[in-house]
Amino acid sequence: MALKIPQIGLNTMLKDGYKHMQGLDEAVYRNIAATRELSQITRTSLGPNGRNKMVINHLEKLFVTNDAATIIKELEVIHPAAKLLVGASQQQEAEMGDGTNFVVVFAGELLQQAEYLLKMGLHPSEVIDGFEVAVKKSFEILQTLSVHTLENAHSKSDLVALVKPAIASKQYGYEDLLSELVASAALEIMPKNASQFNVDSVRVVKIMGGSIHDTTVVKGMVFGREAEGIVTKATNAKIAIFTCPIDVSLTETKGTVLIHNAKEMLNFSKGEESKLEEVVKQIADAGVKVVVTGSGCGELALHFMNRYGIMVVKVLSKFDIRRLCKVVGATALTRMGAPTPEEMGFCEFVESVEIGSDRCTVFRQDGESTKTATIVLRGGTTNAIDDLERAIDDGVNVIKAAVKDGRLVPGAGAAEIELARQLTSFGERTAGLNQYAIKKFAEAFEVIPRTLAENAGLDSTEVLSRMYASHHANNISTGVDVEGEDNSVLDASKSGIYDLLVVKQMAIKLATHAACTILSVDQIIMSKPAGGPKAPQQSKGEEMDD
């Protein structure tokens, strides 16, 4: 009698419906192809001449931007290998706030170079070893490329020079205007110890209408709504901030009141009124001129506030309430009543003003110190203002990184070409199979200046050859001249085009780590998705049967 031989393998080990891919062809090359597609999307948005992408997300919201962080966030990538690149880019955004496109483009190019080595016959582990040696060497070389340092974080001219290249890569043509605004806002809130600079202290308020040239910096905070009552201005004002509604307090349980005649009815409502008036009078007697509420303000309470000349401002965001407390030095109260002197804040000017067609309330400190500066952004369309906000956010984050480590390397692709040149010569001196991976790692750096040239409409091959010739003559600051018409190059240091060393180093580290992680995958095992079959989509023109 023949015995039944049981099946051995993944068929018996996993549930029905799983997918299993293994080997170079099924797993590694497919992953590389997916990451190449993602890097090609963001690559055309790199640099000052980068093109915009029009992305419509699942909520049908439209984004028109060349900011890589926004593009890949709204694309909702689901491929697991491409997700690793997205994660690396998001980490760069969280850590440094700039250089997100560099991470995606460089990691995609590294994987493309690795694909060539794998097809030559190298093992993925040998490629990974070579990349790890190369990234350590590139960090050593990068330390020697510093050509300038942020001398004084309290100098406006130094901050403008630092911020301008970061903003130019997002808003080319407006970099002079925006870098002045960002530097002014940063200086208003710059602490004596510059390393304690806080990004959250620079706020952006977007108001439609006007042009970008109407954008201003306000010392203090701006809220996009007017005061609630008839009092619209207060100077040298004591401020009370409440997170609870300013109204007649309601009990938690319901009760029944039996009223026998009209006199009792009048006394009942008068009692509520007198109690509320007493509370408002106590607040006024404490010297409070402005009341800020994080919730509603009842009509009766507003009537008494107007009678006692108190300005009422409604701020619905908890984060803004917290920031306002920090700016005016107040404590947010959860109870109705007069605040103690320690709980009150102070602001020199509080007024409702009209900016464009919008009524806004401005809390302005005209003294020397303020803890928050607000950039009031103006623009013609929502997408334009959103993109300007992203550029300003990059500029502020660059200042945050620079006050901790102010070393600058030449921009415009100059640092990348110098890294490629020195790494290539290092690879030639390296024995063993690592030399192939190191040379390809060096070659991957060429993607940045090549992309800058291509996006500017230049002949990338000729630009790269001119840059290499200049770098061999020890001109390490030679970069791509995106404004040149004859494939020319420029001296990035003399032109004031710098990149932060720490931003560049973090981007190289994250991109290499993501690439090595993808290369180390040899099998993809996917379970069957949960849930039943999806209902067929009904076309708009199709009518339902009765």
Distance CA 104, CA 89 (A): 6
Residue 293 confidence (pLDDT) above 80: yes
Helix/strand/coil (H, E, C) string of 337-363? CCCCCCCCEEEEEEEEEEECCEEEEEE
Burial 258-293 (b: 16+ CB within 10 A, else e): eeeeeeeeeeeeeeeeeebbebbeebbebebbbbbb
Q: Residue 121 region, left (φ>0) first, then alpha (ψ -120 to 50), else beta?
A: left
pLDDT value, residue 534 = 61
Helices 382-402, 175-189: axis angle to 10 degrees equals 50
Percentage of the chain beyond pLDDT 70 is 86
pLDDT value, residue 236 = 80
Residue bearing the bigger pLDDT, 412 or 368: 412
pLDDT in tens, 81-112: 888 888 888 888 888 877 788 888 888 888 88
Confidence of residue 247 (pLDDT cuts 50, 70, 90): low
Residue 17 confidence (pLDDT) above 70: no
Helix (H) or strand (E) holding 385: helix 382-402
Tokens for 487, please give them.
């494939």
pLDDT value, residue 545 = 45
Average pLDDT over residues 493-502: 80
Chain mean pLDDT for the chain? 78
What count of other Cβ atoms lies within 10 Å of the Cβ of residue 221?
26
What CATH number should be reported for the domain whose range is 16-147+410-526? 1.10.560.10
Q: Which of 38, 43, 167 is nearest to 101 (CA)?
A: 43
Residues 6+ apart with CB under 8 A from 203: 221, 222, 323, 372, 373, 374, 375
pLDDT in tens, 114-143: 888 888 888 888 888 888 888 888 888 888
Distance CA 279, CA 103 (A): 58
| Torsion sign (Cα): 469, 471, 474, 477 | positive
Confidence of residue 330 (pLDDT cuts 50, 70, 90): confident
pLDDT in tens, 448-475: 888 888 888 888 888 888 888 888 888 8
pLDDT value, residue 111 = 87
Among 73-77, 418-422, 438-442, 542-546, where is mean pLDDT lowest? 542-546
Question: In terms of pTM, does the model score above 0.85?
Answer: no
Q: Which amino acid is at 145?
A: L
Tokens for 57, please give them.
């997300």
Tokens for 525, please give them.
């095992």
Beta strands in 224-344 (DSSP E): 233-242, 288-293, 311-314, 332-333
Helices 100-120, 29-43: axis angle to 10 degrees equals 140
Distance CA 441, CA 448 (A): 13
Distance CA 151, CA 128 (A): 39
pLDDT in tens, 185-234: 888 777 777 777 777 778 888 877 777 787 888 777 787 777 777 777 77
Average pLDDT over residues 375-404: 82
| Torsion sign (Cα): 72, 77, 81, 82 | negative
pLDDT in tens, 402-413: 888 778 888 788
Domain ranges in the chain are: 16-147+410-526, 218-251+261-379
CB 130 within 8 A of CB 433: yes
Residue 485 confidence (pLDDT) above 80: no
CB 517 within 8 A of CB 439: no
Confidence of residue 544 (pLDDT cuts 50, 70, 90): very low
Distance CA 489, CA 486 (A): 9
CATH topology of domain 218-251+261-379: GroEL (3.50.7)
pLDDT value, residue 1 = 47
pLDDT value, residue 248 = 63
Tokens for 157, please give them.
């001219």
Residue bearing the bigger pLDDT, 303 or 447: 447
Residue 252 confidence (pLDDT) above 70: no
